[in-house]
Every structure is written in structure tokens, then in C-alpha cells.
Chains A and B, each alone.
Chain A
């Protein structure tokens, strides 16, 4: 810590400090990599849900990046739940850790620099019953038996993650061009999902499934099945991505900025499609975006993140009608809307997000906050419950709770 303070004074790190950081990082990384690559019995990462109505529970997640400049705490104690059959929207500015949280759920954090340091991610999985060798067990009538298990994703060895990734949890990425393989046709890439995840599926079955999925996302399959990704427009590619995510019938779809790279009219089409699909599938959607408008249209629950922490969470009505945290209030006021009156100065939050390698001990929003008080100099505020579903991390409401 002393080194970091010196850095703030001088503006650079000395060679000795860099070596000290590298040594500390190497030790941590070695420990975490060994934990990630270990062999483990299933019992070790089976767990129980705190609330059986949730499909995903993220609890105290810490994802760190061990860089040469010091440890970047990209996700620093994030907790939120995704209930069954709902859309949870995660909103925040760039660098607030919303994508890193979702990448942690998929275990796609780029190692060895990025590591899940602490916390648990509990996921309710529903999969084929498997024997000791991992082959699915067939029932007497020839169908596969299903069983529900609860895994702690953060504790799973990386070699076991394929049980969930792509099958139980699917992801829709922001850039559909970079996420589709340019040398395979759409059909080949879509079939692959079924062939890998459905045991005993034939090529014919896979093709039928792909056709069905393409129809579901509003594409005429005959035209697209044999096309290559570069032949399609951005909106069409995103539809293919959604079809691919849906092909294995996942229980949780993580949509990471699914419409950010698209035009407004195409965005409207994709949002409509997601809303339509939400009702058709038996699963939940975790929607990550920086656009408050998209969140308001799509989500049931909203999580607001700032600098690696959740600062407010609640239902969509609570967050938009009765926001409590000064950052949430500022964010909503600073977005120009179509209904805003003219001539007024747009509200703005002064300053910038603090430096991620050197976070202060007090509330991270203090320097930018208009309503901060003396007690904001103290420790980082605890989550305060405002209503049964509404939580906020701010000293303003902590005091209120004490006085009552």
C-alpha cells in the first residue's frame, strides 16, 4: 500500500516497487491457477441455493486482475441474484465491472492475469443424469433422465466447466462479427451446438434444430443456413448469435451489451425479439448494458454498479421511480431524453471514476457526490435495505435506518 501512495505523489513506480508487485502477483497467481486447474470430486463444488426461486446467486464475488501496476479490483464484492423466469439488468459505466462479473459467471476471465479471488457463484443446473464416467444415463423408455444440481461455479475446476458453459448458461456478445467464426457457415456453427450438447444427436436432428432456432429469431432458415457470417448484416448476425445461444435450451442467457453495436431501428428489432423469446423459453436473462432506456424496457430487476461494487439494486420500478443512491439519481438526470424540456442545462456528475489500482477506503463515489456528509469519510457504506427488494449502499440511508 505504501508503494501505491508514493506512486500517487511521484506519478510513476520505481523499479523496486515494480519488482515487489510482480513477486506478490506471481505468488497469488500461482495459488489461484493451481486451484483452477486442480482435479476435484463433484461433491467439492456442489452447494445449496439460499433461495430456491433463484437460478443464479452471486455472493461476494471478487475478480482481480494482477497487473504490473498493482492489483485491479475489477469486481470487488458483488452480490446479486437472478430469479427464475425474469430479466435482470445490470447497468453501469464502462469499467465498472459489469462485464467482468458476467465473464466470471462463464469462467471466461483471461488468465493468468485475471483471477476469481473470492466469493461464490451458485447456479441451479438441470442436466442429464450422468454415470461415473460422465456418460448420460438412459431411462428404460429410451429418453434421458434429468436431474437438478446446484454448482458453485467459482469453485469448479476449469475442466469441469463445460457441463454448464454453452449448455446451461449461454452468452450473447456485443460484437457479433468477432464472435462468429468467419470460415464456417452459419449452419455448421449452429449445428455444432446441438451436436456437442445433446447426447446422441444426429446431423439431421441438429439441422432440424438449427432451422427451428433460426425461425424463432425471425430468419428464413433456407437463405441463411449455408451463408457465411460476412454475408449478413449486423442485425442478422446478432439474430444468429441469439439463435446459437438458444440452441442448447439454456436456463440462463447472459446478454452482454447485445444492441450496443447496432443502429436504433435494428436495436428495436432485437429488443423486441429478446422480449418475445423471454416468454417462449424456460429461463432467465441477465442483460448487461450501459443504456438506461434498454434497461427500462426490458428488465424486471435492476442492478446498478459503480467501480466494481453494486451500489443499488431493486425492481425496475423502484430504481426508476424512486432511485436512492446519488449516482443512480445523477445517471438518470444526466441522460438527455426525448421528453426533456429545452433550454435547461443538462445535469452532470462532476469528475471521473477513481483509479482502479488505488481505490480509496471511503465510499468510491464521495469525490463526485453532491450530497456527501461527514460520515462519508468513514468506511465503505454497507448495503441498506429500503424495501423488501430495494437495497442501496449509501451512508445517507444508513443514518435514516439508525434514527428510525
Chain B
């Protein structure tokens, strides 16, 4: 309903008719073949995390016998590789599936399809008992530091618990280990006996970070870790994350809607829209030479804190469509200022346009 309410106009040109059903069938078949080929490839030994064609659907409607008749595709076919000490930034608007992707990587959501390869091991179909050993090496920092800490335990208790459960250090050394960790995260040692409610948002986020790092992980998923914080506190936390990455050689998946923060912290960036990866590349590629119209529009929409420099806006009309009912063809065509007839019917292929720089857009295909 909402798409039609805006007064935006998409230019339409008379072109030959497309048979949507046939195109969809052809696309499915081609993609299936591609996925099978890719999943059979050997694992990359250099990477901490390799995600291949990850897909996560949530059932919307079920028949009486439990068969899913309608589903919401929250994450549709995303792939990337991440090495130790690197940061992958995932940006996108709300509802684009970036958080679901992060959770699916940790197997907090069971992935519907694709492969997750962590440290040279395929963890996609591991049982939860088998996952426990691996959970030690992958951690998550949540957005809201107020609701992600148990209020009934002291900071010392909160930080000792994972160390004890996973047996990181012998029991008698736990306290020293935790104090050292607190020092590393900028927490004073007398906080050990205090409760989470005594702290401000920035300090709580430090506790969350310390808790995630207490088990010596290799990979940390940061799900909007600074969105709930003020600007001056935000800077402290970002610097802390960067410093810890250098010291501990961590790999980060940094999920955020704030492009300037993502630019600051990431080495590689993926731009998501409605569950799909629209563009992926190194930070330099994405920021100096964005290929996809959505990436360009997203960058131009960020307000610039410099009154002398007025950016030329690429106006995006309308709202993000409902993921339960995504548009046919290219998922971005309803809002794309350059949309053509082909975009409404044919799904663009996700291709490598420059080395390491992927995008999915018909306009780019035409240029080539």
C-alpha cells in the first residue's frame, strides 16, 4: 500500500513483454546450479570465516500439516570471506536482514541454506552440543547495553562466568585474568564488585565487550554496538574496538546503519537491501567508486557536518518494501532512479565487476 502513496514517478518505456514465470524458473535453475558448484569448492584456509550463499527464511503461513506455504526471506544468498584481523562492515536500512545475517552466522538462527565455514570447519549442520566448543571462538556484542546484561550479578561475576564455564584459565587464576581483561577494556578494578545498573551506557558497553572477549574469541559479531550511545561515548567505544582488534588479532563483523562509523572501522563493506547483498568490496572500492545506485543514494543521504559543503542528493522516493512481499525482478527497482523495464522482471546477477568488488545491477551489465 505504501509504495503507491508517494508522489514519485518511475519512467516507463514501452518494451517487449517479459514472461515472469518463465524468467523466474530459469533464474531459479541457474542459481541452484551456481550454488551447488560453489558449495563444492574447497575451503579457503586463510579465512577465519567464510559464508557461502547463506539463506535464512522465516515461515509466515503453515498448512494444517506444518507445511510452509508462505515464507519471509530475511537473508537471501549472501557470500563473503573474512580473514583474521579484518573487519567486515554490513550496512543497510532497518529490515534489510543485516542483524539476521549476523545471528545466522553464529547459528543463533538455524540457517535455511548455504554454508558457514569457521576456521576451516563447516559448522552449518552441527548440533548444539557440538557448537558449544565453537561458540567459545565466536562471540557477539549487542546493540542495547541496558538489556543485555543480567542485573543480578556483579561485573566480576558476569565476566568470570564465561571464563569458568569454558575453562579458559585454572580456577585460582580467574580473578587475576578478569582484572587484566577489565583493565584492557578501560574498566577500573574497583568496578569488580559493582552491579550493571550503576554504570552509564558507555561503561556497560565496555562490560559487554569485556564479556565477549573473556573467552579469547577469534570472531566477534558487533551488532550495532554504538547506535545507542552518544557521539562522545561512541568515539571511545570505536577506538577501544580498534585497539583490541590490533592486540588480539580479532575478526569483526560490524553491523551498523551508520555509514560513517562503518567507514571508519571496516576493511571490507557489504551493502544489503531487502535481504540481498547489493554490493560488496573493499572500503576503498565502495567509498571511492560505488557501483550500485543504492550504494550511491545511501552515501548521498548521509548529512554532512560541514555547512559549507552541500552534497548533491540522489533522492530515493518511497519506502523500503515489505520483506514478506518483495518486488519481482531487481529488489531495488521500486525506488531506483535509473530503473528500466528489464529491472522489473529479471533478477540481476551478483557478479565481480572489479577484482574483489561485487555488485548486482542490470545497468552495470549493460555498461560492460
* A interface residue numbers (CB < 8 A to B): 93-94, 218-220, 223-224, 227, 231-236, 263-269, 271-272, 290-297, 316-317, 320-321, 330-332, 334-340, 342, 345-350, 352-353
Inter-chain contacts of B263 with A (CB < 8 A): 336, 338, 340
Write the nearest CB–CB distance from A177 to chain B, whole angstroms.
13
Do residues A297 and B257 form an inter-chain contact, with CB atoms below 8 A? no
Chain A residue at smallest Cβ distance from B186: A350
Do residues A294 and B303 form an inter-chain contact, with CB atoms below 8 A? yes
Do residues A265 and B231 form an inter-chain contact, with CB atoms below 8 A? no
Do residues B315 and A268 form an inter-chain contact, with CB atoms below 8 A? yes
Chain B residue at smallest Cβ distance from A263: B93
Question: A232, A297, A330 — which one has the most chain B CB atoms within 10 A of its CB?
Answer: A297
Do residues A93 and B297 form an inter-chain contact, with CB atoms below 8 A? no
Chain B residue at smallest Cβ distance from A291: B303
Question: A94, A331, A338 — which one has the most chain B CB atoms within 10 A of its CB?
Answer: A338
Write the nearest CB–CB distance from A343 to chain B, whole angstroms.
10
Do residues A336 and B298 form an inter-chain contact, with CB atoms below 8 A? no
Do residues B5 and A292 form an inter-chain contact, with CB atoms below 8 A? no
The 8 Å CB contact of A332, one of B6, B233, B298, B305, is B305
Inter-chain contacts of A339 with B (CB < 8 A): 304, 306
Do residues A272 and B307 form an inter-chain contact, with CB atoms below 8 A? no
Inter-chain contacts of A349 with B (CB < 8 A): 232, 235-236
| Cα-based distance from A352 to B188 in the complex (angstroms) | 14
Do residues B303 and A223 form an inter-chain contact, with CB atoms below 8 A? no
Chain A residue at smallest Cβ distance from B199: A352
Do residues B307 and A296 form an inter-chain contact, with CB atoms below 8 A? yes
| Cα-based distance from A233 to B315 in the complex (angstroms) | 18
B260 within 8 Å of A by Cβ? yes
Do residues B5 and A335 form an inter-chain contact, with CB atoms below 8 A? no
Chain B residue at smallest Cβ distance from A235: B319
Inter-chain contacts of B234 with A (CB < 8 A): 334-335
Contact with A along B1-16 (1 / 0, CB 8 A): 1101111000000000
Do residues A220 and B5 form an inter-chain contact, with CB atoms below 8 A? yes
Do residues A296 and B7 form an inter-chain contact, with CB atoms below 8 A? no
Do residues A232 and B200 form an inter-chain contact, with CB atoms below 8 A? no
* CB contact under 8 A between A337 and B305, given known A236-B319, A263-B93, A264-B93: yes
Q: Count of B residues near A, CB < 8 Å?
A: 49
Inter-chain contacts of B300 with A (CB < 8 A): 268
Do residues A218 and B7 form an inter-chain contact, with CB atoms below 8 A? yes
Do residues B299 and A338 form an inter-chain contact, with CB atoms below 8 A? yes
B259 within 8 Å of A by Cβ? yes
B94 within 8 Å of A by Cβ? yes
Inter-chain contacts of B329 with A (CB < 8 A): none
Task: List, sorted by A's number, 9 A–B pairs whose CB atoms are closer than 8 Å.
Answer: A220-B5, A223-B1, A264-B298, A267-B303, A269-B316, A269-B317, A293-B303, A296-B307, A321-B307
B325 within 8 Å of A by Cβ? no
B264 within 8 Å of A by Cβ? yes
Do residues B236 and A348 form an inter-chain contact, with CB atoms below 8 A? yes
Do residues B259 and A264 form an inter-chain contact, with CB atoms below 8 A? yes
* CB contact under 8 A between A93 and B231, given known A220-B7, A264-B93, A346-B264: yes
| Cα-based distance from A232 to B319 in the complex (angstroms) | 10
The 8 Å CB contact of B305, one of A231, A335, A347, is A335
Which 6 pairs from chain A and chain B are nearest by CB?
Answer: A293-B303, A334-B235, A268-B301, A348-B235, A336-B264, A93-B230
| Cα-based distance from A337 to B233 in the complex (angstroms) | 16
| Cα-based distance from A354 to B256 in the complex (angstroms) | 29
| Cα-based distance from A348 to B237 in the complex (angstroms) | 9
B308 within 8 Å of A by Cβ? yes
Do residues A334 and B231 form an inter-chain contact, with CB atoms below 8 A? yes
Write the nearest CB–CB distance from A288 to chain B, whole angstroms.
14
Do residues B231 and A331 form an inter-chain contact, with CB atoms below 8 A? yes
Do residues A293 and B319 form an inter-chain contact, with CB atoms below 8 A? no
The 8 Å CB contact of B316, one of A234, A268, A316, A337, is A268
Do residues B319 and A223 form an inter-chain contact, with CB atoms below 8 A? no
Do residues A320 and B306 form an inter-chain contact, with CB atoms below 8 A? yes
Do residues A338 and B5 form an inter-chain contact, with CB atoms below 8 A? no
The 8 Å CB contact of B298, one of A265, A296, A320, is A265
Inter-chain contacts of B24 with A (CB < 8 A): none
Write the nearest CB–CB distance from B206 to chain A, whole angstroms.
12
The 8 Å CB contact of A296, one of B94, B203, B306, B315, is B306
Chain A residue at smallest Cβ distance from B6: A218
Do residues B316 and A297 form an inter-chain contact, with CB atoms below 8 A? no
Question: B6, B7, B94, B203 — which one has the most chain A CB atoms within 10 A of its CB?
Answer: B6
B302 within 8 Å of A by Cβ? yes
Chain B residue at smallest Cβ distance from A347: B235
Inter-chain contacts of A294 with B (CB < 8 A): 303
Inter-chain contacts of A263 with B (CB < 8 A): 93-94, 257, 320
Known A233-B319, A267-B301, A269-B316; 4 more pairs at CB < 8 Å: A236-B5, A340-B260, A348-B232, A352-B200
Inter-chain contacts of B335 with A (CB < 8 A): 265
Which residues 216-245 of B sit at the A interface, judged by CB distance below 8 A?
A: 230-236, 238-239, 242
B261 within 8 Å of A by Cβ? yes
B287 within 8 Å of A by Cβ? yes
* CB contact under 8 A between A297 and B303, given known A335-B231, A345-B239: yes
B313 within 8 Å of A by Cβ? yes
Question: B5, B93, B283 — which one has the most chain A CB atoms within 10 A of its CB?
Answer: B5
Do residues B308 and A265 form an inter-chain contact, with CB atoms below 8 A? no
Do residues A231 and B230 form an inter-chain contact, with CB atoms below 8 A? no
Inter-chain contacts of B260 with A (CB < 8 A): 335-338, 340
